[in-house]
Structures are given as structure tokens and as C-alpha cells.
């Protein structure tokens, strides 16, 4: 079962159930469930969706609606160095701080950082951005956990943790600037509710980057290659922290393009994850 937020010219911003290439509107006028967050806060979100699905309504073809990032007022957090490939990339780009990345891969406490607030997030087909002061920015395709305010794992979506590798590599204290800026994060296209997601060992993350109609980068990784469990990451995120609106947690990248690759304006990034779908975003610079 997949939930989307969408904008239609008739109804404004709405929540719907994604069924193949159609959206079935949910009726949120009844009182108890008025927002996506309300649904995710329910003890059984799937049962609530069944209740709210407006089976009398016309199914909207995807071409008639604009999908939005599947979030309300959620913060987006991210874990880092959870795959060997990311550890190697960070150690290569940041010679003076290599030991920190090596240690955090093995340490009980993971790297966790605040990645984005809603206004910095790009939904499906909306542009993500390369900072004007970066010459070496790459996308990081990541499986994202959707957690409610009780830190229960309620679903999954796709995240793109855009990263300025030159800024991060210059000094690890610049990490917040390398990671968090306007349009720094892609999210979508939908939330697959937890019980409808395939087991982790059957989930592959794939990324393709197209430039001037040519595929200039392609990579894939199994989510099973992640060194940490979801429970471990959620447990650390929950320490001494509260998320009254729920939170979206990106789980780290296992796909890093070669060191001579940098995103350019006009590129299109497509990230696909089994059980969820494909998130595509064009790239703008400056």
C-alpha cells in the first residue's frame, strides 16, 4: 500500500493511495484524520487508509496530478558511513580526517545528522541543487525510513542526500554546509507502508544519471549491504530527542560515483528502490 501527497488543479494539496499509474483520493474531511501525519500516527495506518479511500471518486491518472514530497512538517535526518563504499569514498576525499570515517563505520554510535527541513526538500520531478560554491557535488541515493512521533517505523520512501564532496572533503567541520542548503534533498515518490515492503535482502537501490540524453552514470547496491539494522539506527536517533511531527531518516548511501564525476545543471537523477518506485529529479546549479 503506497501513499502519495499530490496537487491537483481542482482539489489543491491532497493525500491519495497510489494504484499503478492512478491516484485514488483519500477523504480527509471526516474529522479524526486530516493530514498524512494523522494517518501515519494511527496504530494501524493501512486500516485507516482502507477507511478513508474514496472508492466512489474518480481515479486520477498520474499525468493529471503533481506529486509532492510525501511529508508534512517532518524533519529529515540522515545516517552516514553505513556502507563500505561510503567509508572508502569519505576516506579518499578527506585524507586528514580519514580515521574518523573509518572509526564511525565500526563504532556502536552511528553518524547521524539533521539533513533537511520541509522547505529544503524537492518532491518528485522538482529540481535538486548544486551549490554555487561547489565544483564536486554528487547525489546519494538512500532508502529512507518513515517514523511516527513514537519512533515506530511506519513506512519507507526514497531519499537523495545531495552532497558537496569538495566542501566536506576540505574539512569535516564543513559537513553541515556540504549537506544542508536550499533544495539539498529529494524525497518521494510515495510512502510504502511497512507491511507492504519486501524484506531488506530483496531490496535493491539503483541510480542512473542522464546528461544530454546519455546515461553518464549507473550504479546499484542491495539494501542488505548496509552495516546497521533499522532498529539500531532508530534507537540512536531516539536518544535524547523527540519528533512531535514524526521524522524521516535516510539510511546512508552505498552508491558513490567515481571521483571524477560531478553533477551538472540539466542532469536528471533517477533513483529506484524495489517496493517503492522511482524518484526522478532534474539538477540545477547556483
CB of 252 to ligand DO4, least distance (A): 4
Q: Determine the Cα–Cα distance for residues 147 and 17; give it in Å rounded to an integer.
A: 19
Q: Determine the Cα–Cα distance for residues 269 and 141; give it in Å rounded to an integer.
A: 9
Does 141 participate in binding ligand DO4 (rule CB under 6 A)? no
Q: Choose the contact partner of 209 out of Mg ion, ligand DO4, none; CB within 5 to 8 A by kind.
A: none
What one-character-per-residue DSSP string does 113-178 give?
A: EEEE-GGGEE-TTSPEEE-TT-S-EE--EEEEEEE-TT--EEEEEEEEE-EEHHHHHH-GGGHHHH
Do residues 94 and 178 lie in contact, with contact meaning Cβ atoms separated by under 8 Å?
no
Binding characters for ligand DO4, 105-134, by CB under 6 A (x = yes): ------x-----------------------
Judged by CB under 6 A, the residue of 70, 80, 123, 159 near ligand DO4 is 80
Rounded to 5 degrees, what angle do the CA atoms 228, 233, 234 make? 145
Does 281 participate in binding Mg ion (rule CB under 5 A)? no
Who's near 103: CB < 8 A, 6+ residues apart?
Answer: none
Binding characters for Mg ion, 117-156, by CB under 5 A (x = yes): -----------------------x----------------
Does 37 participate in binding ligand DO4 (rule CB under 6 A)? no
Judged by CB under 5 A, the residue of 75, 93, 111, 161 near Mg ion is 161
Cell digits of residue 23: 491516484
Judged by CB under 6 A, the residue of 25, 141, 246, 252 near ligand DO4 is 252
Q: Single out the segment in contact with ligand DO4 by CB under 6 A; choices: 30-38, 60-68, 75-83, 223-231.
A: 75-83
Measure CA of the first residue to CA of the last residue in the chain; give whole Å.
Answer: 38
Q: Single out the segment in contact with ligand DO4 by CB under 6 A; choices: 74-82, 186-194, 215-223, 277-285.
A: 74-82
**Region for residue 36 given its phi and psi (left: phi exceeds 0; alpha: psi -120 to 50; beta: otherwise):** alpha
Does 253 participate in binding ligand DO4 (rule CB under 6 A)? yes
Binding characters for Mg ion, 228-267, by CB under 5 A (x = yes): -------------------------x--------------
Residue 276, Cβ density class (10 Å: 0-12 exposed, 13-18 middle, ≥19 buried): buried
Residue sitting closest to Mg ion (CB): 161
DSSP label at residue 225: G
Does 221 participate in binding ligand DO4 (rule CB under 6 A)? no
Does 93 participate in binding ligand DO4 (rule CB under 6 A)? no
Binding residues for ligand DO4 (CB under 6 A): 78, 80-81, 86, 90, 111, 140, 161, 163, 252-253
Amino acid at each position: 500500500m503506497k501513499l502519495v501527497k499530490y496537487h491537483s488543479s481542482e482539489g489543491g494539496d491532497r493525500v491519495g493511495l497510489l494504484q499503478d499509474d492512478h491516484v485514488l483520493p483519500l477523504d480527509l474531511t471526516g474529522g479524526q484524520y486530516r493530514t498524512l501525519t494523522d494517518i501515519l500516527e494511527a496504530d494501524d495506518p493501512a486500516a485507516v487508509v482502507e477507511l478513508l479511500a474514496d472508492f466512489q471518486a474518480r481515479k486520477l491518472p498520474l499525468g493529471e496530478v503533481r506529486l509532492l514530497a510525501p511529508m508534512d512538517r517532518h524533519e529529515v535526518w540522515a545516517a552516514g558511513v553505513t556502507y563500505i563504499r561510503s567509508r572508502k569514498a569519505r576516506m579518499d576525499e578527506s585524507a586528514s580526517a580519514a580515521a574518523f570515517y573509518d572509526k564511525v563505520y565500526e563504532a556502536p554510535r552511528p553518524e547521524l545528522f539533521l539533513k533537511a527541513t520541509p522547505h529544503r526538500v524537492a518532491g518528485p520531478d522538482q529540481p535538486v541543487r548544486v551549490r554555487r560554491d561547489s565544483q564536486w557535488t554528487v547525489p546519494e541515493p538512500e532508502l529512507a525510513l518513515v517514523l511516527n512521533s513514537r519512533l515506530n517505523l511506519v513506512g519507507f520512501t526514497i531519499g537523495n542526500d545531495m552532497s558537496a564532496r569538495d566542501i566536506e572533503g576540505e574539512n569535516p567541520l564543513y559537513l553541515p554546509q556540504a549537506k544542508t542548503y536550499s533544495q539539498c534533498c529529494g524525497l518521494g515518490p510515495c510512502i510504502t507502508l511497512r507491511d507492504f515492503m519486501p524484506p531488506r535482502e530483496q531490496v535493491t537501490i539503483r541510480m542512473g544519471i542522464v546528461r544530454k540524453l546519455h546515461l553518464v552514470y549507473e550504479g546499484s547496491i542491495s539494501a542488505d549491504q548496509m552495516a546497521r539494522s533499522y532498529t539500531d539506527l532508530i534507537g540512536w536517533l531516539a536518544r535524547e530527542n523527540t519528533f512531535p511531527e514524526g521524522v524521516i531518516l535516510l539510511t546512508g548511501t552505498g552508491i558513490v560515483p567515481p571521483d571524477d564525476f560531478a553533477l551538472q545543471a540539466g542532469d536528471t537523477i533517477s533513483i529506484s528502490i524495489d517496493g517503492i518506485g522511482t524518484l526522478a529529479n532534474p539538477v540545477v546549479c547556483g
